Chains A and B, each alone.
Chain A
Amino acid sequence: MSVAAATHPAPAPRAGVPLLRFAVPLALVLVTAVLVSLPTSALPAWAWKYPLAWQAPLPAWISAFMKWLMETASLGLFTVRDLTRGVASALDAVLFAAKAVLATGVVQGAGASATTIAPPIPWFAMILASSAAAYAVGGRRLAFGMAAGLLYLAVFGQWASAMITLASVLVASVIGAASGLLIGLACVRWRTLERLMSPLLDMAQTMPVFAYLLPMLILFGFGPASAMVATVIYALPPMVRVTIVAIRAVPVEIRELGIMSGCTRRQITWKMLVPSALPALMVGVNQVIMLSLNVVIIASMIGAGGLGWDVLAALRRLDIGGGLEAGLAITVLAVLLDRFAQGMAQRAERVAKEDGAGAGGRRLAVRAALVAALGLWIAAAVWPEIALYPNGWKLSTAPYWSQLVSWINVNFFSVLDAIRTAALVNVLTPVKRFMLALPWPWVVALVTLAGWRLGGLRLALTTGAMTLFLAVVGLWQTSMLTVYLCGVAVVISLAIGVPIGVAAANRPRLWRVVEAVIDTLQTLPAFIYLIPIVMLFRVGDFTALIAIVLYAVAPAIRYTAHGVRRVPVALIEAGQMTGCSRRQLLTRIRLPLAAPDILLGLNQTIMLALSMLVITALVGTRDLGQETYMALSKADVGRGLVAGVCVAFIGMVADRLISAAAERLRRRTGLAA
């Protein structure tokens, strides 16, 4: 859209029509208010409820197409089915190998007659090897952290599940990072491909994972392979984006040097561009790992096993303590993976500068540890009984947690319930009613108008069409419920996040605390928050709301702080010298100049809020998240995919409109790049 905005001539100054500038929005608000409060009979019925007869049976078409694809479609020598199943079995083999090493070992036979041929890597060997790797990557602190984290998994009885999860994450991350890099490089080379990929990437990121888990199940069969493909698709976009940006950011001179040295294209790419961009690329790898973990957890809920399954099972049993411990295990895994990946990224950046002796000693220590780990593994194969963590050494805090929750619920029930009820009655329900009362043609018209004002004709057409799609596929009501829940969550996130961002921006000590908190919130797999919140507020919209806000508040804080901090010092000093009070400095200088960044933060907040939808479906919301979740349990591909696309479209409409607004603002303040 930025292209359209860029070629659009700057709007002429409208000094003569100040009335119009306020009159038009005011009129729109009035019309909206009137429309909502009208009795149902005042407008034709089709305006309130999109008629069934006009609906496109898109879900049915998609389901039929998938059926055709899997049953009759052929690529000449082999059918589509053969192809996808071939890919699936290749993936399965890789995944099986990873699981065999980390979690299950090689087993012959099944059930009671199963005999272990080779055991998985025993827990102490794993701790030794991982700590050695951590030491090599990030030094002593990372090694200690790694050992402590893994020890937690063993002590609290989460080892087996954690290793299954880890195996999936590792395989998905390697595939995701490698294919992301290749696609990114291809996009840099062929601009057309980039233009083609961009909307697909947007879609993959905003669509709930469940939505494309379904087609994957159909294409690749029920099994871990389809979950793996879905995971890779979800984790891929940031890697592609980071690759494109990082490779483009390599100075032109480096490329020219390559040409002048007589490099072939391949040599330029692999000997110059990729190594030069490595620090930035590692940031992408980090993202891939974290996103993979997120999806692997979700995927394991539908039966793949691992930590996600443990949490869900505990939630269903109302075993709060058990859920919390498994949830904490996910957190531990997430933090370990994140720190390890960050360590790799930083290492790529500083390319070890050490005196020979120290580096040599360090390398020796790492190698010795790895050899020792291998020896222990072999020992475990000979004496299998030492491989297992002894049950007697396991600890559990689950009973205490359950006691704590019952204590809170007994003593504070009335307070908690009052909060919840007040929020529902005063905020949530009225907003919900309002959203549902809006006639769909009016909403479509408003969105189109906004698109036209902010970005011109092309933006108006895309956003209008996307909004219309929600009605045409018959998911208007559900979509509005989604908009309502996310909308309220986003407003609350901003109301909390912007002040915190402003306050923390220029106070380094406060910022360090805030950053630690939001980092933790973002590293935690999303539905961990649900556990304590469900315990306190039971299921329902309010619980979902809190979970979304907790997850989505981080970008609001981060971008606000970034924007405020970026205001040039000279402007602040100019403000001070003209006698601005602190408050005036904030409202007249800092906030207006930070506005474009805050808008981008809003954008990210909306995206994160939408991505929480599926998770909140678990606590019984009625929106598009629930729709995809239901479709999944009924294996209804068409329905799930269409609901997923609806979520993606809501996200894309918001994204396009806000980006256009931010672009306009930036142009006006002369901050455009």
Chain B
Amino acid sequence: MSHPILACRGVAKLYGAKASRFVRDGRFAGAPEELSAAGVVSAVRDVDLEIARGETFVIMGLSGSGKSTLVRCLSALTPPSAGEVLFEGKNLNAMAEGDLLQIRRHQMGMVFQNFALLPHLTVLGNVAFPLDVQGVRKAEREAKALEMIRLVGLSGREGRFPRELSGGQQQRVGIARSLAVKPDLWFLDEPFSALDPLIRREMQDEVLRLQGLLKKTIVFITHDFDEAVRIADRIAIMKDGRIEQIGTAEELVLHPATDYVRAFTQEAPRAKILTARAVMAPAPSGADFAGRVEARARIASFAHEVEAADRPFAVVDGGAVIGVVDRLAMIDVLVGRERKAAAA
């Protein structure tokens, strides 16, 4: 990750009357008791992270964990109390107002939890709004907006007003609007939390589809671990304003850094997270295989074949056999960790 598109170093955000004094003294990373005694709330503490171009980076935490504040620091909506946020190597908070304006107009897009649609504009007007702000001529911006509306599958509804749409449709408008300026960096702040579970799944698929098409860098905020697992390349788990661990879903499940992460990942759908590589046993020489699976493949994608066969499957990476998986391994994964622990 030599050239991260977005990076932050030692970012902290403190609220409260005496917040600035703590920052000046450099005590902001200290014990939360000391801070809360002074009436200072530390929403984000000492966060370092780097996000690579084209990556889908999910920030996950429960409510109050500071994830919303962190994304507002990353998008420079709120200035951090300490530390710096670098966008393409440039410090967002040290930048001239005009430069920041230009970056936001052309390189960033954001989707909001409660959609933030403008009630007085139609779907078309809402999607064209960021272009309108830039001063793009009407014909041109409406053509671009219509293209985005088609992309999110709302063609024919351009003339509707936001309140005439369902929640899922409203968020599609929000997505289309955030993509209208063709941003490099796409923020989604709990975009589907306000939606019903079924719609939520549908919208997650939509994001995956769009990401396959457009290849943006995504910063996605959620409190739902399943959602994180479905979408993320890498996940950062937050608690009390700190990042507990950053890693792929598989890394989090297999090697939780803290008890908090362990507790979180315990109930996770392991079959959808773990790959063949993670559960394979060393291949005995000259074994007889029922078939082969890719080392990168998720267990859920081949579990029933392996389970139905009477012989083990070979795990291959670049054509070479690097291990085996058998029925027992499948059952271990599907039944979960407890049984494995009991057996061990």
Which of A's residues lie within 8 Å of B, judged by CB?
Answer: 251, 253-254, 256-264, 267, 271-272, 275-276, 278, 351, 353
Residues of chain A contacted by B121 (CB below 8 angstroms): 275
Cβ–Cβ contact A351 & B120, under 8 A: yes
Cβ–Cβ contact B75 & A260, under 8 A: yes
Closest chain-B Cβ to A650's Cβ sits at a distance in Å of 37
Residues of chain A contacted by B165 (CB below 8 angstroms): none
Closest chain-A Cβ to B216's Cβ sits at a distance in Å of 15
Cβ–Cβ contact B116 & A351, under 8 A: no
CA distance A27 to B147 in the complex (A): 79
Select which of A256, A264, A272, A275 is within 8 A of B112 by beta carbon: A256
CA distance A443 to B300 in the complex (A): 83
Residues of chain A contacted by B114 (CB below 8 angstroms): 251, 253
Residues of chain A contacted by B129 (CB below 8 angstroms): 261, 271
Residues of chain B contacted by A256 (CB below 8 angstroms): 72, 77, 110, 112, 116
CB-CB nearest in chain B for A263: B133
Residues of chain A contacted by B75 (CB below 8 angstroms): 260
Selected interface stretch from B1-9, B27-35, B99-107: B99-107
Q: A253-B112, A256-B116, A351-B120 are in contact. Are A264 and B77 (CB under 8 A)?
A: no
Residues of chain B contacted by A258 (CB below 8 angstroms): 133
Interface string of B103-126 (1 = CB under 8 A from A): 111101110111110111100000
Residues of chain B contacted by A351 (CB below 8 angstroms): 119-120, 161
19 more CB-based (< 8 A) A-B contacts, given A256-B72, A271-B129, A271-B133: A253-B112, A253-B115, A253-B116, A256-B110, A256-B112, A256-B116, A257-B110, A258-B133, A259-B77, A260-B75, A260-B104, A260-B109, A261-B129, A262-B102, A262-B133, A263-B133, A275-B121, A276-B118, A278-B120
B132 interfacial contact with A, CB 8 Å:
yes
Select which of B115, B130, B187 is within 8 A of A261 by beta carbon: B130
B134 interfacial contact with A, CB 8 Å:
yes
Residues of chain A contacted by B164 (CB below 8 angstroms): 353
Cβ–Cβ contact A275 & B120, under 8 A: yes
CB-CB nearest in chain A for B104: A262
CA distance A263 to B72 in the complex (A): 17
Cβ–Cβ contact A254 & B102, under 8 A: no
Candidate in A256, A262, A263, A272 with the most chain B CB atoms within 10 angstroms: A262
Chain A facing B: main interface SS = helix
* Nearest 3 interchain pairs by C-beta: A262-B105, A253-B116, A262-B104
CA distance A267 to B120 in the complex (A): 15
Cβ–Cβ contact A353 & B161, under 8 A: yes
Residues of chain A contacted by B118 (CB below 8 angstroms): 254, 272, 275-276
CA distance A339 to B168 in the complex (A): 37
Cβ–Cβ contact B104 & A259, under 8 A: yes
Cβ–Cβ contact A253 & B77, under 8 A: no
Closest chain-A Cβ to B337's Cβ sits at a distance in Å of 40
Residues of chain B contacted by A278 (CB below 8 angstroms): 120
Closest chain-A Cβ to B2's Cβ sits at a distance in Å of 28
Select which of A254, A262, A263, A275 is within 8 A of B116 by beta carbon: A254
CB-CB nearest in chain B for A259: B77
Return 27 A-B CB contacts under 8 Å, by A number: A251-B116, A253-B113, A253-B114, A254-B116, A256-B72, A256-B110, A256-B112, A257-B110, A259-B77, A259-B104, A260-B77, A260-B104, A260-B109, A260-B110, A261-B104, A261-B105, A261-B129, A261-B130, A271-B129, A272-B118, A275-B118, A275-B119, A275-B120, A275-B121, A276-B119, A278-B120, A351-B161
Candidate in A256, A260, A275, A351 with the most chain B CB atoms within 10 angstroms: A260
Candidate in B72, B118, B121, B130 with the most chain A CB atoms within 10 angstroms: B118
Residues of chain A contacted by B101 (CB below 8 angstroms): 262, 264
Chain B facing A: main interface SS = mixed
Closest chain-B Cβ to A119's Cβ sits at a distance in Å of 40
Residues of chain B contacted by A275 (CB below 8 angstroms): 118-121
Candidate in A257, A261, A351, A353 with the most chain B CB atoms within 10 angstroms: A261
Residues of chain A contacted by B134 (CB below 8 angstroms): 262
Closest chain-B Cβ to A143's Cβ sits at a distance in Å of 25
CA distance A257 to B121 in the complex (A): 14
CA distance A521 to B106 in the complex (A): 56
Closest chain-A Cβ to B49's Cβ sits at a distance in Å of 20
CA distance A276 to B121 in the complex (A): 9
Cβ–Cβ contact A261 & B112, under 8 A: no
Which of B's residues lie within 8 Å of A, judged by CB?
Answer: 72, 75, 77, 101-106, 108-110, 112-116, 118-121, 129-130, 132-134, 161, 164, 181, 187
Residues of chain B contacted by A276 (CB below 8 angstroms): 118-120
Q: A256-B110, A353-B161 are in contact. Are A261 and B133 (CB under 8 A)?
A: yes
Residues of chain B contacted by A253 (CB below 8 angstroms): 112-116
Closest chain-B Cβ to A357's Cβ sits at a distance in Å of 14
Closest chain-B Cβ to A565's Cβ sits at a distance in Å of 26
CB-CB nearest in chain A for B97: A264
Residues of chain A contacted by B109 (CB below 8 angstroms): 260
Q: A251-B114, A253-B112, A257-B112 are in contact. Are A262 and B119 (CB under 8 A)?
A: no
Residues of chain A contacted by B119 (CB below 8 angstroms): 275-276, 351
Closest chain-B Cβ to A193's Cβ sits at a distance in Å of 22
Residues of chain A contacted by B103 (CB below 8 angstroms): 262
Residues of chain A contacted by B110 (CB below 8 angstroms): 256-257, 260
Closest chain-B Cβ to A348's Cβ sits at a distance in Å of 8
CB-CB nearest in chain B for A278: B120
Closest chain-B Cβ to A626's Cβ sits at a distance in Å of 49
Closest chain-A Cβ to B44's Cβ sits at a distance in Å of 17
CA distance A261 to B104 in the complex (A): 6
Closest chain-B Cβ to A111's Cβ sits at a distance in Å of 53
Closest chain-B Cβ to A229's Cβ sits at a distance in Å of 33
Residues of chain A contacted by B112 (CB below 8 angstroms): 253, 256-257
CB-CB nearest in chain A for B100: A262
CA distance A276 to B72 in the complex (A): 23
Closest chain-B Cβ to A281's Cβ sits at a distance in Å of 11
Cβ–Cβ contact B132 & A271, under 8 A: yes
Cβ–Cβ contact A267 & B116, under 8 A: no
Residues of chain B contacted by A264 (CB below 8 angstroms): 101
Residues of chain A contacted by B161 (CB below 8 angstroms): 351, 353
CB-CB nearest in chain B for A258: B133
CA distance A275 to B129 in the complex (A): 13
CA distance A558 to B130 in the complex (A): 44
Residues of chain A contacted by B130 (CB below 8 angstroms): 261-262
Residues of chain A contacted by B133 (CB below 8 angstroms): 258, 261-263, 267, 271
Candidate in B110, B114, B133, B134 with the most chain A CB atoms within 10 angstroms: B133
CA distance A253 to B71 in the complex (A): 13
CA distance A278 to B120 in the complex (A): 9
CA distance A299 to B114 in the complex (A): 49
CA distance A545 to B90 in the complex (A): 72
CA distance A271 to B133 in the complex (A): 9
CB-CB nearest in chain A for B129: A261
Residues of chain B contacted by A271 (CB below 8 angstroms): 129, 132-133
Cβ–Cβ contact A260 & B120, under 8 A: no
CA distance A278 to B118 in the complex (A): 11
CA distance A212 to B120 in the complex (A): 39
CB-CB nearest in chain A for B121: A275
Residues of chain B contacted by A263 (CB below 8 angstroms): 133
Residues of chain A contacted by B120 (CB below 8 angstroms): 275-276, 278, 351
CB-CB nearest in chain B for A275: B120
CA distance A331 to B283 in the complex (A): 96
CA distance A264 to B77 in the complex (A): 14
CB-CB nearest in chain B for A260: B110
CA distance A278 to B121 in the complex (A): 12
CA distance A262 to B112 in the complex (A): 16
Closest chain-B Cβ to A274's Cβ sits at a distance in Å of 9
Closest chain-A Cβ to B106's Cβ sits at a distance in Å of 8
CB-CB nearest in chain B for A254: B116
Q: A251-B116, A253-B116, A351-B120 are in contact. Are A260 and B108 (CB under 8 A)?
A: yes
Residues of chain B contacted by A260 (CB below 8 angstroms): 75, 77, 104, 108-110, 187
CA distance A313 to B110 in the complex (A): 65
